Structure 1
Amino acid sequence: MDIHEHQAKEILAGFGVPVPRGGVAYSPEQAGYRARELGGEAWVVKAQIHSGGRGEAGGVKLCKTEEEVRDYAATLFGKQLVTKQTGAAGKGVYRLWVEEASDIQQELYLGFVLDRKSERIMIVASSHGGMEIEDLAEKDPDSLRRMIIDPAVGLAGYQARELAFALGLSGGQIAQMVNVLNACYRAYRDLDAFMVEINPLVIRASGDLVALDAKMSFDTNALYRRPDVAALRDPSQEDPREAMAADHGLAYVGLDGDIGCIINGAGLAMATMDMIKLAGGEPANFLDIGGGASPERVCTAFRTVLSDPNVGVILVNIFAGINRCDWIANGVIQAYRDIGLDLPVIVRLAGTNVQEGKALLETSGLPIIATDTLAEAAEAAVSLRRQNAAA
């Protein structure tokens, strides 16, 4: 789960990371009030969306009068801001962050991420911040410094100092960097974060370090024990299909294809999408209904898949263990009747109560295509989609 910049800054400030003074605004008038409240001669107004590259897309501006702050804010509210990370649809701007301007002497990059290879938290840092990490890796790979943290020990003092020296810091800046590194590590560890990024971490003309921008992502599977973090979720920044699925406890990821998938088990879902691709089609989603799926849950899964207007065929692939094939069959039948389904549906059932499930589908009188293997199901889905597209 991602959160907004201002939320990440508030969290990191609570752990001891220095951040510029600022305030959230939900209207142009409130943005102007925030500038007056902060005082000073210049302010930075930032669109709050879950995406990087806001500056290049026109979502960040330095303003020197309250009127300029209000006018710029008025152009942002309600706008679909398109960045290289959002795709063509962009993301809606419904809140802004107004902060005091900083006299920047140097920009650094600092990130804490999960390194799957070492199964450890990795620090990635660079003396050249202010650009996306992908661009940094391409344009100046030698500037990147990587450091692995042993979870049994935590971030050691010598590691933090070594990284500060590697970034070219000196004097009191080293102690400041050590504090920032320790604060970010504690935030990552204590809140089940998936990523903590400060880009840029700037050195002001005064020599002080301050987090000019911040991003945090959290492990969705751990949100049940982090209610304060879960409360920061902003559904307006999520794919509407994924938001709908999350509200019903379904594991769903929207894709760009047109063959809807309803499957139990992440591994089987991945295999199903691979088979669809192999057959020449494009999956519209990843959807895992999980174990113990009732007919009502299956019907909800159908509604979620159908919320994508691109879907032209639905493929149901169930290998029942904890699940039961007759539950799934009843769910498919219920979806036809309750939703008024008019799309082709291909169902492949295997496992617990498979014969009972197949019998229910056969006697339902509905135009459901049943197959015995995943390959047959994928080929049938692709074939039907091509026929419908041609028609």
Structure 2
Amino acid sequence: MKLHEYQAKDIFAEAGIPVPESRLASSVEEVMEAVEEIGYPAAIKAQVHVGGRGKAGGIKIATDEDEARQAAEDILGMDLKGYTVDRVLVEAGVDFENELYVGVTMDRSEGKPVAMVSTEGGVNIEEVAEENPDAIAREHIDPAFGLHPYQARKVVFEAGIPRDVAFDVASFLTTLYDLYESNDASDIEINPVMITSDRDIVAADAVMNIDDDALFRHDDLAAMEEDAYENDLEAKAGEYGFDYVRLSGNVGIIGNGAGLVMTTLDLVDYFGGEPANFLDIGGGAKAERVANALDMVFSDENVDSVVFNIFGGITRGDEVAKGINEALESFDEIPKPVVVRLAGTNAEEGMEILNTDLVQVEGTLEDAVQRAVENAQEVSQ
């Protein structure tokens, strides 16, 4: 579960991490009331689960009333990488001299959490990792013992953090790890940590993602779940128990297994299409679950065609076929063309069950994806 910036900052502030004064607003009038209380300059920040909000126009700095109103009108209601912005965080501006990155995530190759610090804050950390990996200092953490104070100091000094703020940054990192561990987070980061002209440090952003399977241990976080969804589709995915990410394209994708779905996404791109979503129905999916997946994808107004990619291991092809038939037979008219590729357990039985008056069937994944892309292109013309 992804937390919004404002939700993560509430948690950070409660743990003792300094954050700018802020107010949440969902209308231009509420933005104007917030900046009147907070003062200028103020940052007006879209609350959506995407990176690069600033470059996409989702973050603006206002120095007076006219700029604040214009920023609110521009950001509220805008389409930001496929998401409609319905709330903004109005935040006091920070007079800063430097920007840093501090974060904790799981290094799956090592099987351990890793603490990361960089002097190249304020930009996409994935780009830094790819283009200049030496700019990120790393320290692996034994989960049995946690992050030792000496490890926090070590990684901070290795990153080249100025000595006069190094111990404060190390304290930030220690607190982040405590939050990471105690809340069953999958990753947690501050980008940027701002160093002010008074040599104080402030969390100017906040990212915190929680392991869905651990929410039963955290009633306070579970209560944030509904508010953390970006839109009705993500809320629906939560109800159905799907792993779902909405994207900006028009080819809907349904598969069983994260790797299979990612492969399908890559092939859609390879054949000149644009994926509309990542939707993994998981292993052992029954007919009802498959029907729910189709209901979700059909509910996305951006989707012009759908491709089903099922490889049966635990999942049985005949069960998938029943689900597809049940879902499609409930429509007087099929809302989007559907292409199905079945392989593996009971695939032949599934192919016999499929109602070919309602779906298009292809024998290979490449053929299925190419046909779905062509369908989407015909619909969008």
User: Which of these residues, 176, 186, 195, is aligned with residue 194 of structure 1?
Assistant: 186
State the partner residue of 1:317: 310
State the partner residue of 1:178: 170
Q: Trace 1:13-92 onto structure 2 (pairs within 5 A).
A: 13-38=13-38, 42-65=41-64, 67-68=65-66, 70-80=68-78, 82=80, 86=81, 89=82, 91-92=83-84
Query: Which structure has the larger Rg?
Result: 1
Q: Which amino acid aligns with 1:22?
A: S
Q: Is the 8 A contact 1:346 1:380 kept in 2?
A: yes
Number of equivalenced pairs: 375
Q: Is the 8 A contact 2:35 2:42 kept in 1?
A: yes
TM-score by length of 1: 0.77
Structure 2 CA distance for partners of 1:329 and 1:182, relative to 1, 3 Å = same
Q: Trace 1:339-378 onto structure 2 (pairs within 5 A).
A: 339-340=331-332, 342=334, 343=337, 345-346=339-340, 348=342, 351=345, 355=349, 360-361=353-354, 366=357, 375=364
Residues 291-326 of structure 1: CA deviation (Å, up to 9, x unaligned):
5544333322222233355444544635264x5555
2:116 matches 1:124: yes
Paired with 1:278 and 1:55, the residues of 2 have a C-alpha distance of: 29
Structure 2 CA distance for partners of 1:254 and 1:20, relative to 1, 3 Å = closer
Q: Trace 1:136-215 onto structure 2 (pairs within 5 A).
A: 136-137=128-129, 141-166=133-158, 167-171=160-164, 173-215=165-207
2:5 matches 1:2: no
Paired with 2:61 and 2:360, the residues of 1 have a C-alpha distance of: 60
Q: Which amino acid aligns with 1:249?
A: G
DSSP-derived class of the 1:302 partner:
helix
Structure 2 CA distance for partners of 1:93 and 1:165, relative to 1, 3 Å = same
Structure 2 CA distance for partners of 1:179 and 1:306, relative to 1, 3 Å = same
Structure 1 gaps, min length 5:
none
State the partner residue of 1:94: 86
Tell me by how many angstroms 1:34 deviates.
Answer: 2.5
Paired with 2:269 and 2:51, the residues of 1 have a C-alpha distance of: 30
Structure 2 gaps, min length 5:
none
Identical aligned residues as a percent: 37
Tell me by how many angstroms 1:208 deviates.
Answer: 1.8
Comparing 309-318 and 15-24, the one that deviates more: 309-318
Q: Trace 1:218-367 onto structure 2 (pairs within 5 A).
A: 218-233=210-225, 238=230, 241-253=233-245, 262-266=254-258, 269=261, 286-291=278-283, 293-308=285-300, 310-312=303-305, 314-315=307-308, 317=310, 319=312, 321=314, 326-340=318-332, 342=334, 343=337, 345-346=339-340, 348=342, 351=345, 355=349, 360-361=353-354, 366=357
Q: Which amino acid aligns with 2:312?
A: F
Structure 2 CA distance for partners of 1:262 and 1:341, relative to 1, 3 Å = farther
Paired with 1:101 and 1:315, the residues of 2 have a C-alpha distance of: 47
Residues 94-128 of structure 1: CA deviation (Å, up to 9, x unaligned):
22222333232332221222222212222221224
TM-score by length of 2: 0.79
Paired with 2:42 and 2:373, the residues of 1 have a C-alpha distance of: 53
Paired with 2:266 and 2:98, the residues of 1 have a C-alpha distance of: 46
Tell me by how many angstroms 1:71 deviates.
Answer: 1.6
Structure 2 CA distance for partners of 1:338 and 1:146, relative to 1, 3 Å = same
